[in-house]
Amino acid sequence: MKLLIVNGPNINMLGKREKEVYGNRTYKNLNKYIHEYCKNKNIEVKIFQSNHEGEIIDEIQSTYGVFDGIIINPAAYTHTSIAILDTLKAVSLPTVEVHLSDINKREYFRKHSYISQACFNTIQGHGFDGYIMAIECLEEYIQRANSCKNIILE
């Protein structure tokens, strides 16, 4: 299985920003955590982060025909980016949305996600573990989809 993990604006500032919301662990810690998990599960993973919407769109477009699934933490673009939503729909890969915090328990404007419309699941409020949960969710989803391809209807 080959996955792309996309992180949006300010995720690179983990450990420095809003520690009461995101904790003390850094973006480097997050990447290491994900890479170690994927290595143990024999999952190929690419992790990408950008503060720029166009770069995120370009990266998602590059998945077409290359990756099996996407995990996205669009960060603030969750609530504003129809362009990222349209790109996820265009590549049509199974996608899980992840948020470190529970966006439903934050400011009012954070409660709506445009991105979730292109995702089969959203995981929020589990910190770094949310990424592992998303990987497991995608793994199960892809395995089920592949097993259905082998069914011959008579």
Please list the active-site residues: 22, 99
Cα–Cα distance, 114 to 84 (Å, whole number): 9
Q: Are 128 and 30 in contact (CB under 8 A)?
A: yes
Tokens encoding 132? 């592992």
How big is the chain by its Cα radius of gyration, in Å? 15
According to DSSP, residue 151 is labeled -
